[in-house]
Structure 1
Amino acid sequence: MTGPLIIGLTGSIGMGKSTVAAMFEAAGVPVFDADAEVRAMQGPAGALVAAIEAEFPGSTDETGVLRDRLGQEVFGDTSALARLEAIVHPAVARKREAFLAEHLDAPLVVFDIPLLFEKGGHASVDRIVVVSASAETQRQRVLARPDMTPEKFAHILSLQTPDAEKRERADHVIDTGQSLGGTEEDVIALIAQLRADAANRDPL
């Protein structure tokens, strides 16, 4: 048995990746949400709270990680960010492996990973789907978020692989700059194609 075709779903901030991930899930495709796993492990009694508190004293309380306070500690500090990632990334990888083990019978699974290219995750998936829209649409969406500033947006973009490069490296691109219905039609068509591809693979 070959196991599922592993789809890496990614996209820059504000491109609509979470919306597209929800469309995959609604169509019956198991989705591993890396960000959601991190939030759970950083929440009340979360598995990473003690380790994060030890590395960044005062960054947690009984509710879990104080995301704003921790964000201030690592924002713009590459060394601090690396120390945080050394705690978080191995834990997420273990969760992802467990998720895959649970869904070995599925034809497809989606790994929803925001920093797929930036952290090397693209090497461990079979297909890459990039969610994209125009730079202007992206900017409007992001700056409409609470507590977002042009400076913060610029900093986040500086940490991400440029959208044009992501599109070039993708196997498939989903355009979220169109209507929601149009995007959903594209996702459904892509799922059908990927399921056919999964069925036609040669067994190991």
Structure 2
Amino acid sequence: MKTLGLTGSIGMGKSTVAAMFRAEGVPVFDADAEVHRLQGPGSKLLEAIEALHPGTTSPELGVDRALLRQAVWGDDVALARLERLLYPALHRVRLTFLSRHRARRLVVLDVPLLFEKGGWRKMDAIAVVSAPAWIQRRRVLARPGMTAARLAHILSLQTPDPEKRRRADFVIDTGRSMNATREQVRCVIACLSGPGGR
């Protein structure tokens, strides 16, 4: 089994590309979705999150993500504490996913902060989803509640796109048509899944 780390900066189209891999029959581990689940109702982590940031959770709804984001916004120490709580649980879920799909030739691990948190070292190959900066900006600023200042802060926490592209084994360009993007996805799958695939 080969593991393909899929990453990309905000607004680059990574979720769309991940869906294309799924549509082609490749199992995809969505780290963001798993974090949402770990913060949802009934999660064993709720009590610990509430202890760190009182008032950010409820048994019925789980974590109020907007309140939690406000609690750690711009506070590196608070963010690190939260990550030390979440990441071990996320790692266990990922191991379960890999075990479940161990007979597959290729799986995708969709991890937004793959470079930033060092996860790239554990991958057989890395695909970076990218688009021109003006397209990225237009996409992100169209999101409800997004501002130019918030976008700038998010980008300051992420490895710059040119650096990600330089370190990637594959760059999937989403600045073109959906069909062009889908063809790139198929090419990556063929390269990694075929006989003698890297």
- Normalising to structure 1: TM-score of the pair? 0.94
CA distance in 2, matches of 1:84, 1:139: 28
1:109-150 CA deviation, whole Å, 9 max, x = no partner?
A: 000000000000000000000000000000000000001000
Q: In the aligned structure 1, how far is the partner of 2:197 from the partner of 2:148?
A: 46
Equivalent residue runs for 1:1-204 within 5 Å: 4-61=1-58, 62-196=60-194, 199-200=195-196
**Structure 2 residues not aligned, in runs of 5+:** none
Note if contact 2:28-2:110 (Cα within 8 Å) is conserved in structure 1.
Answer: yes
Q: Which amino acid aligns with 1:127?
A: A
CA contact (8 A) 2:130 2:173 kept: yes
Distance in 1 (alpha carbons) for counterparts of 2:102 and 2:196: 17
The Cα of 1:47 is off from its aligned counterpart by: 2.9
How much has 1:185 moved relative to structure 2? Answer: 1.1
Q: Distance in 1 between matches of 2:5 and 2:65?
A: 26
Contact 2:191 2:197 in 1 (8 A): no
> For the aligned residues, what is the CA RMSD?
1.1
Q: Equivalent residue of 2:109, what SS?
A: strand
Task: Provide the rounded CA distance (Å) in 1 between the counterparts of 2:112 and 2:189.
Answer: 20
Residue 31 of structure 1 aligns with an amino acid whose one-letter code is: V
The structural deviation recorded for 1:201 is 6.5
Deviation at 1:23, TM superposition (A): 0.4
Question: How many Å separate the matches in 1 of 2:19 and 2:44?
Answer: 26
Query: Cα distance, 1:78 vs. partner?
Result: 0.4
**Cα distance in 2 for residues equivalent to 1:39 and 1:201:** 34
Give the SS at the match of 1:173: strand
Residue type of the partner of 2:31? A
The structure 1 segments of at least 4 consecutive aligned residues displaced by more than 6 Å after TM superposition are none
Structure 2 Cα separation of the partners of residues 176 and 48 of structure 1: 36
Secondary structure of 2:18's counterpart equals helix
Matched positions, count = 197
How far 1:200 moved relative to its partner? 2.4
For 2:95, the aligned partner's letter is E
Alpha-carbon displacement from aligned partner over 1:84-113 (angstroms, at most 9, x marks no partner): 101111111111011000011000000000
